[in-house]
Every structure is written in structure tokens, then in C-alpha cells.
Chain A
């Protein structure tokens, strides 16, 4: 156990030291993107691993990004206050939508479709309020007046952003681990097996589900706000809507939803793939990355539902067992 802890500490120190050794701005940019999206994917799989498949996370992310940017541009509210406010907004929306779903036992297909509609509607609202949000053309937070960069949370150098994104990503993994070791996890696993039995055993089904949804939504909104502050440009298609929700699901599933680093592996694969395609094909690559994602997503769900990292860890832990026929293999996301 101590050796394991030492390994993680060394790995973390290496990641912190990385930007001071390797200063290539493009590589750092890709790393920051990977870290921010990894955090978003991790927050999705915090609830996704318990069979609460949400396609509404694109909506939460959009709220995180747009509320922060709108407060800054129109009211001059610093992102230091704006980000918590945007997270609160996403949290309230999550509760408003999730409460009836959980209270009235809306699960499976119904839950997916309701949350799907949620992300579609956030997209519509952003487009509809184009006088304030710039509509589908996108939106840019105003540059901070000189000397107020800390107040505006706008940094020019990539190293600062890398360290911020790294800190948030680690925080996401810590939250994952905390949940993994808490009672919520056992309660949620019982719920995903059989809601009635869990309720009979004294689990407050609605409250537990709401808790996990709230945590997940807050984290996703934070990811959206960070993305907005880093890129300094957001458009409805890149931070909200069904495509973003599906992108989260895809990355989490490819990496593996049951292991803490699974979503991160998914983010590395998707973002590196997109960048490689973009560099080698230029503007002709538009659409190709999603085409590859889509094909991979279908193939993964059919042949490797535990994801790359999940399957690899399985192999290492029990090399004798063939990966097919393993207990979780046939019941990957929702255990029914």
C-alpha cells in the first residue's frame, strides 16, 4: 500500500514538474484540454457508473460556461464569484429535473430521454437569447483591463493554466475516490441492482440519487466554466447540446467507467485522435474525428463494454480468466 502511495505521489510530482521541463506551448495546450475534458468525463462517470446514464451533462457544461461569461461581460462579476454562481445554477437545474425523475421512478430509457431533452433545451435557450449570448456564432468573455488578470481569472501563460487544470483534475479523482469509499457507493450499487430491494433495506433511493446527480452536475459546470476561461471563446455547439453529452459518454465508455482513470484514458484517446486528424488532414478533417468516434463507440459497446482501461486492468488482475464471460462483462453499465 505504501509503495502504491509513493508511486502516485511521484507520478503527481512528475506531472507538476512537466511544464517547467517541457515548455512547448502546443503540447501544453493539448494537455490542458485533456485535463479539463478528463475532469468533465470523470464527473459524468461519477453518476454514469451507477447506471444513471445522463445525456444532460452537455447542458450543465453549457450553463457553467455561459453563466460565468455572461456575468463577467454584462455585470462585471468576477469569475471567482461567477463560477460558483454558475455551478449553483447548474445544480438547481439538475435538482429541478432530477427530483421528479427519481421521485417517480423514472429510470432507464425514460431518464436518458428526459436528460437528452435537457441538453437540447439548454442549447435552444442559448440560441434563443442571442441578443445576450451571441447565439450560435459563439461568445467571447471580455479581456480583463491590464493588471486585473487575477480578478478576471485570465492568464496568458499556458503553465498557469496547466497547473490549474491539473489541480482540478486531481480534485476530480479525489472526489471519485471519496465516493468510491463512501456509503453512497454501496447505496447506489444497491439501487442500480434493484431499487425496491434497496428501499426495503433502508436506502433513501431518491436522496442518494439526488446527491450523486448534484455532485456530478456541479463538477460538470465547473469544467464548463474552466473551459470558457481557458479558451476565451465558447459556442453553443462546443460546450452544450447533445453532441457534447454524447462525447462525454463516448470518452467515458471507451476509457472505462468503473475505474477512476478510465475517463482520463478516454479523454487522452479522443483528444489526441482529434488533434492528429486535424494536423494531418487540416480543414478536410472536419467531421472525420466524429465519424471515427461514432464507429468506435458502437464497436466498444458491442465488443468491449468495460472500456480499454477496465479491460486491461481485468487482464492484469486475473490473466487466466478469458475476458468474455466475466461477471461484469455482460452487465456493463446498468446492471439489470
Chain B
């Protein structure tokens, strides 16, 4: 009995730590989505599909063009950042004055485009980088280096965005626009440029997430559907546009998924997360950190 409890605790601890590691990447995704929502007031339904394109980019650069991982990653981040800017320029900019629902549905159309583009261009086979990182054994617990690396890189990425937003002029302008979009043009800030920069940063974060996720998961055209919905849940639970709320919610969700997956399949972790989400909708409908009015 005693030994059984010991093993159980070890597994539990391992799941808790794996949850934290998963939370890092989810928080990165949520940050990108929150940034775009907070500044441009648009939700990119196709955000996870940008990540999918980035994952294919990594696959082709590493497997087909034989670039080393560290050289391919910045290229992919740049590529997805450009994609984000293009998405804003081509789809969102003509719709800026349209009702928000239309902007959201248009990005839904982009989701269709990206998914079927990937199906047409890359086929529906599962592909992976072929990089197998070693596993770190800590006592009786096992952690893959891929997850540790992802967690570290996600944190670095988030700190980078934080420094950019607080320490540079453009970053300050982005935060100012998020607060009041009517006044800022009077202060000599061009909102069009700021929107474009924000979209590029949001895309860049998706690109970074792609570089990290491709280490752990196979890529196929519909891979976005496996973490897209959970990212939206996180953003809503944290309060759309609320960076800190999204950060906390990412870890809460990651723990639920990880612990739920411990007792049953990984999908059940997602189902538990959804049940939790519905309950939280009753308790805190405006997000985790919102004050009740």
C-alpha cells in the first residue's frame, strides 16, 4: 500500500510539472491572441492555423532544406510574423469599420483557406522533424527536454514582448492605442502602422509557438484544431485582452488537462477543462481577474 502511494505521488508530481511546462506554451499562444484583441479589437479565429503553417515551415526547412533547428526557427518566426501582417493588411484592414462579428467570421474564412491550403500543398500525412530530444530523468520522474525547452523559450518570448511593450516607444504606443484608439492619432501615432506592427508581433508569437510545438507534436493540416479551441477558452477565461488573466488561465487549464490525462485519455483532460470552463462562466463570466460589478 505504501509503495503504491509513493508511485502514485510521483506520477501526480510528474503530471503537475508537465502541466506547468504545457502551460508555458499555452500562455504564449494566449498572449498573442490577447495582444491582437486588446489592440485591434479583433479575434483571429485562425490563430492556431498560423501556428500550423509555422510548423510546416519548420518541417520543410529542417527536413527538406536541412537547416539546423536554431537557424530555421528565426526564419519561421519571421515568416509567420509576415503572415500575420499580411492577414491584417488583406482581411482585417478593409473590415475595421465593419461589425466585430464580421471581422471574426472573415478570419474564420482564413482558417478554411489555411487548412485547405495545407491539405492541397502538403497532403494530409502526419510529419515530424525527426528530432528526438533526450529525456531528463529526475529521480523516478521523466521530463522530455522538448517540453523543458518549450517552457523556457515561451517564458523568454513573453518576457521579450513585455520588455518591448514597456521599454520602447512603439510598445508604449501599442499600449496607449489599446486604452484609447480615438485619442492616439491626435498624439501623432499612426494607428494603421501600430495595427500592422501588433499583427506582426502576434504572428511572430504564433511562429515561436510553432517552433516549440513542432518539437513535441506531429504536424498535419488539422493540427490547429487540437489546441486552437483550448487557446480561445483560455483567453475567454482570463478575460479577452487581459494579459495577466490569460497567463494565469493558461496554467490553470494546462494543469487540468495534464491531471485529467493522468487518470484517463488526454481527450478527457480536454473534456474536464471544458466542464471547468462552463462552471467558471457561471461564477466569473467576465474572466478570472474581473471584479464583480
Q: Which residue of A lies closest to B274 (CB)?
A: A121
CB pair B101–A128 under 8 Å, yes or no, is no
Shortest beta-carbon distance, A325 to chain B, in Å?
14
Q: Number of B residues whose C-beta is below 8 Å from A?
A: 52
Chain A interface residue bracket vs B: 35 or more
At the interface, yes or no: A110 with Cβ under 8 Å from chain B? Answer: yes
At the interface, yes or no: B17 with Cβ under 8 Å from chain A? Answer: no
Q: Which of B100, B118, B235 has the most CB of A within 10 A?
A: B100
CB pair B117–A291 under 8 Å, yes or no, is yes
Q: How far is the CA of A174 from the CA of B152 in the complex (A)?
A: 58
At the interface, yes or no: B104 with Cβ under 8 Å from chain A? Answer: yes
Shortest beta-carbon distance, B58 to chain A, in Å?
21
Question: A298-B109, A298-B110 in contact; A116/B116 too (CB < 8 A)?
Answer: no
Counted as pairs of residues, one from A and one from B, with CB atoms less than 8 Å apart, the total is 170
Question: A128-B271, A294-B111 in contact; A334/B229 too (CB < 8 A)?
Answer: no
CB pair B235–A113 under 8 Å, yes or no, is yes
CB pair A297–B109 under 8 Å, yes or no, is yes
CB pair A250–B120 under 8 Å, yes or no, is no
At the interface, yes or no: A160 with Cβ under 8 Å from chain B? Answer: no
CB pair B98–A294 under 8 Å, yes or no, is no
What residues of A have a CB within 8 angstroms of the CB of B286 in the complex?
Answer: 104
Stretch among A81-89, A95-103, A139-147, A217-225 lining the B interface: A95-103
Contact of B98 among A119, A293, A330 (CB under 8 A): A330
Q: How far is the CA of A220 from the CA of B109 in the complex (A)?
A: 21
Stretch among A4-12, A18-26, A241-249 lining the B interface: A241-249
CB pair A242–B229 under 8 Å, yes or no, is yes
Contact with A along B102-131 (1 / 0, CB 8 A): 101110111111111111100010000000
Taking CB atoms and an 8 Å cut-off, the chain B residues in 17-54 that contact chain A are 37, 43, 45
At the interface, yes or no: B233 with Cβ under 8 Å from chain A? Answer: yes
CB pair A123–B225 under 8 Å, yes or no, is yes
At the interface, yes or no: B281 with Cβ under 8 Å from chain A? Answer: yes
CB pair B99–A334 under 8 Å, yes or no, is yes
CB pair B110–A291 under 8 Å, yes or no, is no
CB pair A121–B102 under 8 Å, yes or no, is no
CB pair A117–B271 under 8 Å, yes or no, is no
Question: A106-B281, A112-B43 in contact; A288/B120 too (CB < 8 A)?
Answer: yes
Q: How far is the CA of A125 from the CA of B119 in the complex (A)?
A: 25
Shortest beta-carbon distance, A51 to chain B, in Å?
7
Stretch among B6-14, B156-164, B197-205, B262-270 lining the A interface: B262-270
CB pair B100–A294 under 8 Å, yes or no, is no
Taking CB atoms and an 8 Å cut-off, the chain A residues in 139-167 that contact chain B are none
Q: How far is the CA of A231 from the CA of B232 in the complex (A)?
A: 33
Q: Which of B95, B101, B114, B281 has the most CB of A within 10 A?
A: B101
Shortest beta-carbon distance, A196 to chain B, in Å?
14
Contact with A along B270-293 (1 / 0, CB 8 A): 110010011001100110000000
At the interface, yes or no: A336 with Cβ under 8 Å from chain B? Answer: yes
Contact of A117 among B95, B98, B112, B277 (CB under 8 A): B277
At the interface, yes or no: B240 with Cβ under 8 Å from chain A? Answer: yes
Contact of A333 among B99, B110, B265 (CB under 8 A): B99
What residues of A have a CB within 8 angstroms of the CB of B118 in the complex?
Answer: 287
Q: Which residue of A lies closest to B108 (CB)?
A: A246
At the interface, yes or no: A305 with Cβ under 8 Å from chain B? Answer: yes
What residues of B have a CB within 8 angstroms of the CB of A335 in the complex?
Answer: 99
Contact of A286 among B45, B106, B119, B265 (CB under 8 A): B119
Taking CB atoms and an 8 Å cut-off, the chain A residues in 301-336 that contact chain B are 301-302, 305, 330-336
CB pair B228–A100 under 8 Å, yes or no, is no
Q: Which residue of B lies closest to A285 (CB)?
A: B120
At the interface, yes or no: A108 with Cβ under 8 Å from chain B? Answer: yes
At the interface, yes or no: B83 with Cβ under 8 Å from chain A? Answer: no
Shortest beta-carbon distance, B123 to chain A, in Å?
9
Q: Which of B105, B115, B265, B278 has the most CB of A within 10 A?
A: B105
Shortest beta-carbon distance, B157 to chain A, in Å?
23
At the interface, yes or no: B248 with Cβ under 8 Å from chain A? Answer: no
What residues of A have a CB within 8 angstroms of the CB of B114 in the complex?
Answer: 294
At the interface, yes or no: B94 with Cβ under 8 Å from chain A? Answer: yes
CB pair B225–A108 under 8 Å, yes or no, is no
CB pair A332–B102 under 8 Å, yes or no, is yes
Taking CB atoms and an 8 Å cut-off, the chain A residues in 193-245 that contact chain B are 237, 241-243
What residues of A have a CB within 8 angstroms of the CB of B233 in the complex?
Answer: 113, 117
At the interface, yes or no: B91 with Cβ under 8 Å from chain A? Answer: yes
Q: How far is the CA of A249 from the CA of B45 in the complex (A)?
A: 13
Taking CB atoms and an 8 Å cut-off, the chain A residues in 243-269 that contact chain B are 243, 246, 249-250, 253
CB pair A290–B115 under 8 Å, yes or no, is yes
CB pair B115–A302 under 8 Å, yes or no, is no
CB pair A114–B99 under 8 Å, yes or no, is no
Question: Given A113-B240, A297-B105, A330-B97, 17 other A-B contacts at CB below 8 A?
Answer: A104-B286, A108-B100, A109-B104, A109-B240, A118-B274, A124-B270, A125-B267, A128-B271, A243-B225, A291-B116, A291-B120, A297-B112, A298-B109, A302-B106, A305-B102, A333-B99, A336-B100
Closest 4 CB pairs of A and B: A120-B229, A294-B112, A128-B267, A287-B119
Could you pull out 28 A-B pairs where Cβ atoms are within 8 angstroms? A53-B105, A55-B108, A104-B282, A109-B37, A112-B45, A113-B240, A121-B229, A121-B270, A125-B267, A128-B270, A241-B225, A287-B118, A287-B119, A288-B116, A290-B112, A291-B117, A294-B110, A298-B110, A298-B113, A301-B105, A302-B95, A302-B106, A330-B97, A330-B98, A331-B99, A332-B102, A333-B102, A334-B102
